[in-house]
Chain A
Amino acid sequence: MRGLLAVLRTALADALARRGAFWAQIVMMVLNDLVLIAFWLIFFSRVDTVRGWDGQRVLVLFAVLATGAGLVLGLLSNCRRIPEAIVRGRLDETLTLPVRPLPHLLVSRVDTINLGDVVVGVSLFALVAHPTPSRVALFVIGTLLGAVVFASFLIIAGSLAFFVNRDEPAGLALHAVLLFSSYPVDIFTGPAKLLLYTVVPAAFVAAVPARLVEQPSAAGAGLILAVAAGFAVAAWAVFTLGLRRYSSGSVWTRAA
């Protein structure tokens, strides 16, 4: 754990070393998110609810998604770069260190642009979600569990590169899960909805945690906890199995 924290601290220091770029990226991401929030505000000024989701619930969903995805893509930035690292042989550097490769890889790069999402997500929740201690606690727990599902899904999708030696499918998976997570899951029906609760677990990234904040229940909390644990174990297993097939590459570079 001391080693992981030291790597994360170093990755943060590396990101902060370009201080101008750091703040510019955060401001750009905040502006980008504000445009999306404005879209939902305009939409719900004309429509009361969409399949039971009103404006506030959707904004809470957006707050959960921005915070969770921002944490994963910001602090565990290599989540999205796993396939590239596999295909281009960039795990070599990690494998020469006395570390568990997956956690080390995840914390060894910080993307400041996605930390802007965290700023937006937390601020949005504070402004529109009528925070009380219990709602804040549910927001934190739900967001973190959603982030675990999101990160695990990216790791699983990325680790498929060990088996197919291609990095494009993981990129599609990232965009798909982000896109579907940003809408209230109940607007989807039938097989599409089933898909979002299983193969592409977008429902558990934002909608289910947001519902937990608005309608707390032990069953809801248990469900997302179990799903997060299941996905985390699956991610670990797929990466570990895949690593046995790792074929490296001819260029040696730092994984980040």
Chain B
Amino acid sequence: MVVMSALPDSPTGPAIQARGLVRRFGSGPAAVEAVADLTVTVEQGERLAFIGPNGAGKSTSIKILTGILRPNAGHARVLGLVPWQERRQLARRIGTLFGQRSQLWFELTARQTFHMLAAIYGLDRGTQVRRVAELGELLDAADLFDAPVRTLSLGQRMRCELTACLLHEPQLLFLDEPTIGLDLLAKQRLRELLVQLNEVAGTTIFLTSHDVADIEHVADRVVVVNAGQVIYDDTVPALRRNLLSTKLIDVGLEHPAAPLSLPGVSVLDQGETTLRLAVDTTATSVREVLDAVLIGCAVSDISVTDPPLEQVISRIYQQPGTPAGAGP
């Protein structure tokens, strides 16, 4: 049973407040529970990465939160509105950008689509012209708007897609795999734009991606879902800190190093003048290892780093209760 009034309706409250969302597909023994008791809150102005392995329920969750799907149970308010009951009002205040979807008409110019969208969103002519000009400048895309969309590269098209979904100045932006298929430069540009949009306009960002760099460069908070449930929720730096029992130590040497024997320390790579160690901090502290290295070796340089975020996230997926081997 979906109860609507269980969450407060506050325009100044969280951008997203969802509690106990459940969504099943099919019925009987063959039913699949894509979202199972999902509870998450996103404050206004946050940049949230909503990640998980394939089939974790990310897209289904977004579709519930945008009003496309009705949940079987649970409560949710997005910008104070119940998505599946007040979908049209909500659609005026949110933007959606999906890497595998286009809202542009391929045979037409992007500007023709913007004109249509402006009419749908009820923007007057002056506002439409102003917004298209502003976004053209912000996204460095103004020269793309009058070319047929089919002639644009994927990166150029994504900038036009972003313009289309920002035309009505949404307060909250849902992005599902926005960088999929883009080259490195286009990905980097899109990430910078999202951060800029958040910092300049205060737009709340709700992002799903399998690209760890999207998470690292865009998000300030990470929610990891698996089997339709939140299994981790923290800031990006805390994600690294809290889940890292392993640290990487890179040592620059003046002379080849003598063998190092400490519990929980393994040599990943050793050269004449370089040494890379992996340290299990539950067995030996970083400080103990550093002391041993500084005493036993002629050190010219030393640094301590975290493993790549991708490795960290893989570890979350592989925790008990999550499918073994699932990865981003």
Q: Do A and B come from one complex?
A: yes
Chain B residue numbers with a CB within 8 Å of A247 are: 25, 69
Taken residue by residue from 57 to 88, chain B's Cβ proximity to chain A (1 for < 8 Å, 0 otherwise) reads as 00110010011111000000000000000011
Chain B residue numbers with a CB within 8 Å of A256 are: 105
Smallest Cβ-Cβ distance to A253: which chain B residue: B101
**How far apart sit A117 and B96, CA to CA, in the bound complex (Å)?**
38
Among A18, A99, A246, A254, the residue within 8 A (CB) of B101 is A254
**How far apart sit A50 and B108, CA to CA, in the bound complex (Å)?**
50
**How far apart sit A98 and B91, CA to CA, in the bound complex (Å)?**
5
Q: Which 3 A-B residue pairs are closest in the complex by CB-CB distance?
A: A252-B101, A6-B119, A17-B107
Among B91, B105, B176, the residue within 8 A (CB) of A252 is B176
Given contacts A6-B118, A253-B100, 8 further A-B contacts (CB under 8 A): A2-B119, A3-B122, A6-B119, A10-B112, A14-B107, A92-B63, A95-B66, A96-B68
Given A248-B69, A252-B98, check contact A95 B87 (CB 8 Å): yes
**How far apart sit A14 and B60, CA to CA, in the bound complex (Å)?**
31
Taken residue by residue from 224 to 256, chain A's Cβ proximity to chain B (1 for < 8 Å, 0 otherwise) reads as 000000000000000000001011101111101
Q: Is B322 an interface residue (CB 8 A)?
A: no
Taken residue by residue from 226 to 237, chain B's Cβ proximity to chain A (1 for < 8 Å, 0 otherwise) reads as 000000000000
**How far apart sit A253 and B104, CA to CA, in the bound complex (Å)?**
10
Q: Is A41 an interface residue (CB 8 A)?
A: no
Smallest Cβ-Cβ distance to B93: which chain A residue: A98
Chain A residue numbers with a CB within 8 Å of B101 are: 92-93, 251-254
Q: Is B113 an interface residue (CB 8 A)?
A: yes
Smallest Cβ-Cβ distance to A18: which chain B residue: B107
Contact assessment for A99 and B120 in the assembled complex, using a CB-CB cutoff below 8 Å: yes
**How far apart sit A93 and B67, CA to CA, in the bound complex (Å)?**
11
Chain B residue numbers with a CB within 8 Å of A10 are: 105, 108, 112-113, 115-116
Among A5, A251, A253, A254, the residue within 8 A (CB) of B105 is A254
**How far apart sit A97 and B87, CA to CA, in the bound complex (Å)?**
9
Contact assessment for A6 and B120 in the assembled complex, using a CB-CB cutoff below 8 Å: yes
Among A13, A96, A254, the residue within 8 A (CB) of B91 is A96
Residues of A within 8 A of B (CB): 2-3, 5-7, 9-10, 13-14, 17-18, 91-93, 95-100, 244, 246-248, 250-254, 256
**How far apart sit A185 and B96, CA to CA, in the bound complex (Å)?**
49
Smallest Cβ-Cβ distance to B119: which chain A residue: A6
Interface size class on chain B is 35 or more
User: Can you give 8 A-B contacts (C-beta < 8 A)?
Assistant: A3-B119, A3-B120, A17-B107, A17-B108, A92-B101, A95-B67, A248-B69, A250-B59
**How far apart sit A92 and B119, CA to CA, in the bound complex (Å)?**
20
**How far apart sit A160 and B154, CA to CA, in the bound complex (Å)?**
37
Contact assessment for B112 and A253 in the assembled complex, using a CB-CB cutoff below 8 Å: no
Chain A residue numbers with a CB within 8 Å of B91 are: 96-99
Given A9-B116, A98-B120, check contact A251 B100 (CB 8 Å): yes
Smallest Cβ-Cβ distance to A243: which chain B residue: B70
**How far apart sit A256 and B116, CA to CA, in the bound complex (Å)?**
14
**How far apart sit A205 and B71, CA to CA, in the bound complex (Å)?**
39
Q: How far is the CB of A192 from chain B (nearest CB, A)?
A: 37
Q: How far is the CB of B70 from chain A (nearest CB, A)?
A: 6
**How far apart sit A14 and B75, CA to CA, in the bound complex (Å)?**
41
Given A96-B68, A98-B121, check contact A248 B105 (CB 8 Å): no
Chain B residue numbers with a CB within 8 Å of A244 are: 70
